[in-house]
Structure 1
């Protein structure tokens, strides 16, 4: 489920771009080194793998997350024997993949997220997040504490000086699903009401009883990057997947338009959130 993995990226001492996991940094450095060794400019390399030179630059400098499609083509063009994809598999196994998405999330101008099962991580209270992270897991208390802290830190993008514009659609069943205790649910619903009243948060609810619609296929996030187009993020029980291919992004955008059209208007959604909060008293 989207948001159920949290990375460990930390801001560097200057408060600039967060430091990436060492293996992710290594992959980026080797991409650049091998491209230069092949005598190719960023534009030339981009043309050979059907990407723009500016995207090649964004990948190498860390302003765009790594993705499997790019690395597969880089392996083929640079004749690495599959080195970069193997390194990516190791990074995924070690939980470093999500750190790249956190970077994209932090740098996004706009986020669009749909969640049919749970409150999105960016809108979770501490108690709700702790219950979700601990559920059915074998994590130690220390690891649970760490993941909760990371999730809460991610939420700073909504209240910083230049906040991200968040558009979120929740399925109505999320409001009635008991997570933890009734007190946790009341706190969480009150928090959703408060967040929905922020000028940069557009929180909509898909009403109960509308039947089958595209969003029920699963949760997803879309992030608009300054100068780098849209990125998508999917998640499952094993790992996350960053989506960059144009046709796949188009499919996610179509799914977004579908769930957005099914949702109640903003004020009606806010009224529903307030009514739902009362039921947990």
Structure 2
């Protein structure tokens, strides 16, 4: 440290800070400065990390990227996946309480039906599109935005796993034409949606604006079916989310979703619209 200063000790009062503290201790026990650690770590793992990012992680300001914990366990030859376990704890803590039940059900679901009436549903958001939304919600809080982005990518990893859910998505036309971020951000987002319109495990239908009023208008809905055949609904507003478990209420919402699915554009028609919409974002 410059001037012989000792790094400020962290108080590990959260999983994120505990992860950072253990990383700093492991590095210092090896006698590695931050610069030397980065040089050796990148050389052995081929995974880039900047000194600024390393500092933020060690201070417990940001969550590490999902790829980092297992690489740290191998680099430091830790027992029992120490960094992986601490990272999992930090991720659990970072999810607000009202979203934890939703997250658990989403991880287990064999089928997911989603409706996005205001923005692209989270499972289909690109990194930059999501970051623009997070920054709009908490302006100036880059640490929070970065953490939310990491959690979002962990959710999305399920879609490319060996056992992905069957994903069916309804998206309002206005969502696909409302620019979020720069034209480049929006173009990348629409290109990703286009790539997912009709795959073996994902189907996307656009709800045309001319359809008028419908039972899901003005909200966001996720329907999750577990391996046991139970379906749960999750309704989300700007800053709140409600898990719906009562069977009669879930059936009511699912009927609205199914009716809208039948009245929306097919994947082929949706793809045609997306290709046209992309022309507005060169």
TM-score (norm 1): 0.66
Residues 112 and 168 in structure 2, CA contact (< 8 A), matched pair in contact too: yes
Q: Match for residue 254 of structure 2? A: 253
Query: How many Å apart are 1:238 and its aligned residue?
Result: 3.3
Q: 1:175-204 CA deviation, whole Å, 9 max, x = no partner? A: 110111111111110111112242101011
1:125 and 2:126 equivalent? yes
Residues 205 and 264 in structure 1, CA contact (< 8 A), matched pair in contact too: yes
Runs of 4+ in 1 over 4 A off after TM superposition: 10-16, 18-21
* Partner-residue secondary structure (3-state), 1:135: helix
Q: Match for residue 155 of structure 1? A: 156
Query: How many Å apart are 1:13 and its aligned residue?
Result: 5.3
Residues 118 and 218 in structure 2, CA contact (< 8 A), matched pair in contact too: no
* Partner-residue secondary structure (3-state), 2:110: strand
Query: How many Å apart are 1:116 and its aligned residue?
Result: 1.0
Count of equivalent residues: 204
C-alpha distance in 1, partners of 2:157/2:179?
26
Q: Match for residue 190 of structure 2? A: 189
Q: 1:43-84 CA deviation, whole Å, 9 max, x = no partner? A: xxxxxxxxxxxxxxxxxxxxxxxxxxxxxxxxxxxxxxxxxx
C-alpha distance in 2, partners of 1:192/1:238?
25
Q: 1:123-144 CA deviation, whole Å, 9 max, x = no partner? A: 0111100001111424621111
Q: 1:11-48 CA deviation, whole Å, 9 max, x = no partner? A: 995999x9689xx9xxxxxxxxxxxxxxxxxxxxxxxx
Cα RMSD after superposing both structures: 3.0
Q: Match for residue 106 of structure 2? A: 105
Higher mean C-alpha displacement, 188-197 vs 172-181: 188-197
- Structure 2: segments with no counterpart, 5+ residues: 1-65, 70-79
Shift of the 168–13 alpha-carbon distance from structure 1 to 2, 3 Å rule, reads farther
Query: How many Å apart are 1:109 and its aligned residue?
Result: 0.4
C-alpha distance in 1, partners of 2:88/2:253?
29
Shift of the 279–254 alpha-carbon distance from structure 1 to 2, 3 Å rule, reads same
Q: Match for residue 37 of structure 2? A: none
1:1-281 alignment runs, 5 A limit: 95-138=96-139, 140-227=141-228, 229-281=230-282
Q: Match for residue 31 of structure 2? A: none
Query: How many Å apart are 1:278 and its aligned residue?
Result: 2.2
Larger Rg: 2
* Partner-residue secondary structure (3-state), 1:214: coil
